[in-house]
Structure 1
Amino acid sequence: MKSLFIILFSFAIVSCGPQKTDSFKAKEIYKSENLIITQISENSFIHTSYKQTNDFGNVPCNGLVVKNNNETIVFDTPINDKSSEELIQWINNHLHAKINAVIPTHFHDDSIGGLQAFHNHNIPSYAYSRTTELAKENNFVIPKNSFSDSVVLKVGNEEVTAKFFGEGHTKDNAVGYFPAENILFGGCLLKELEAGKGYLGDANVPAWSETVEKVKQAYPDVKIVVPGHGDYGNGKLLDYTIKLFKTQ
């Protein structure tokens, strides 16, 4: 009886003790005047730069770096070429990784503003075809490669996807997905929790909720969601954005 108690007690300690989970304690691993990099999983990093605006003040703008086997892919550039050059150097010198591609998810400068720095390093860029058209119309730096619906790129032994689901924040807002860690980069299509609607000058507000519904259905296993501005979270950001733009 005593030995049975010891076995049961030992099992209880094992069962209630710390278990290996998918949780990762995010940490800021780089900070300068122009750029902050926060590691949010084993192989994913948010890069944050700042855009000075008249209506919303000094706005933090997020992008994402995903890594596998000393290769990376970057979603959205920092706000300008100076900050983008800083990010490129950080990836090369601190991650010791090659940048396979950069993917701007829409044509605004918080997504494409630092593209020339990537081109200066002969890093391929990929964007939804409408993003390329809008970049041309606005005399911005033009992505080198276009996709009509989606693109799948290799990063090490893994893949990332970028796909256009419909209009919302802009007519061209695509999203990125890193299946290896179930991370969605929603860019400016998605809002942080409790955020307002933000800049609507190029938006299709009536279509916004339906577009995000399609994203939600496409990625049912998503664990981490990164918006274009503000704090990252989980699938609740999808639900919040859907509700925020739902038309009665």
Structure 2
Amino acid sequence: MIMGNKRVVILFFWLLLGCKTTHWVNLPHESGNLVITRATGHTFIHTSYLNTEKYGKVPCNGMIVMDHNEAIIFDTPTDRVASAELIDWIQNQNGFKIKAVIATHFHEDCLGGLDTFHTHHIPSYALNRTIDLAKKEAIALPQNGFESRLELKVGRKKVIGAFWGPGHTEDNIIGYFPSEKVMFGGCLIKTQGAGKGNLNDANVSEWSNTVLKLKDEYQQTEIVIPGHGKTGGIELFDYTMALFKE
């Protein structure tokens, strides 16, 4: 009987150790600059705001993946103030360390707060093409480039950044967290009911083909986070393809 109780205690200890990564994260968080919501056990959505002439105040999404006191962020918030707020929030979660920030394309809603991450000595990553395009815009540059695919460890898990073709821009990548089948589609993926949005740098003729490649490669995806608007499932692939199909 004593041995049985001992096994129960040991099992409880390991369950507690495995659960501590995100169950103790302080949620929700909401201010005038930043909203953070949970998507799954280890993934979160950060939403900040971009003031535009054409569309007004636009909510912009990014993804946070957290595991064993480490975090990786896809896209910075839109400005330095919201970025500092996000960094503070993560670092106050039981000592979480931000290992990296990954930009999914060269627009302001992905890179607007990059200087703040660099000030905090947080490494940044982006497609080589993104870095080249950012140079032309005279905005902060990601520090580390990759050609088409990036894989980084966060805690005991991995995250993937991958380029599958043009769409919203020539450099748009997606983020994927295999452990929980979550994709951050960024501005390549549209939320249900959305219009075509900003097409200034778009490749409309290839957009549907790129998303079709995503759908074929990531058939197991369960949650899709778009760059703007509400999270959905793989139906967002079909909606986006239909929107841009010629």
Matched, 1:133 2:132: yes
Q: Structure 1 229/199 Cα, relative in aligned 2: closer, same or farther at 3 Å? A: same
Matched, 1:238 2:237: yes
Structure 1: how far apart are the matches of 2:77 and 2:156?
Answer: 26
Could you tell me whether the CA contact under 8 Å between 1:28 and 1:36 is conserved in 2? Answer: no
Q: TM-score of the superposition, structure 2-length normalised?
A: 0.88
SS in 2 for 1:193: coil
Report the equivalent of 2:210: 211
Structure 2: how far apart are the matches of 1:105 and 1:69?
Answer: 24
Please state how far the C-alpha of 1:94 moved relative to its aligned partner: 2.7
Report the equivalent of 1:19: none
Report the equivalent of 2:100: 101
Report the equivalent of 1:55: 54
Q: CA RMSD in A?
A: 1.1
Question: Which structure 2 residues correspond to residues 177-192 of structure 1 after superposition, within 5 A?
Answer: 177-192=176-191
Q: Provide the identity percentage.
A: 52
Could you tell me whether the CA contact under 8 Å between 1:77 and 1:114 is conserved in 2? Answer: yes
1:164 maps to amino acid: F
SS in 1 for 2:193: coil
Q: Which has the larger radius of gyration?
A: 1
Which deviates the most, 95-104 or 158-167? 95-104
SS in 1 for 2:91: helix
1:48 maps to amino acid: T
Structure 2: how far apart are the matches of 1:122 and 1:110?
Answer: 21
Structure 2: how far apart are the matches of 1:54 and 1:244?
Answer: 24
Structure 1: how far apart are the matches of 2:39 and 2:174?
Answer: 18
SS in 2 for 1:214: helix
Structure 2: how far apart are the matches of 1:173 and 1:240?
Answer: 18
Please state how far the C-alpha of 1:236 moved relative to its aligned partner: 0.5
Q: Structure 1 114/232 Cα, relative in aligned 2: closer, same or farther at 3 Å? A: same
Report runs of 4+ in structure 1 exceeding 3 Å deviation.
Answer: none
Q: Which runs of 5+ in 1 are unaligned?
A: 1-26
Report the equivalent of 2:165: 166
Please state how far the C-alpha of 1:96 moved relative to its aligned partner: 3.0
Report the equivalent of 2:114: 115
Structure 2: how far apart are the matches of 1:68 and 1:168?
Answer: 31
2:157 maps to amino acid: E
2:39 maps to amino acid: I
Superimposed CA distance per residue, residues 154-180 of structure 1 (whole angstroms, 9 cap, x where no aligned partner): 001100000110000001000000001
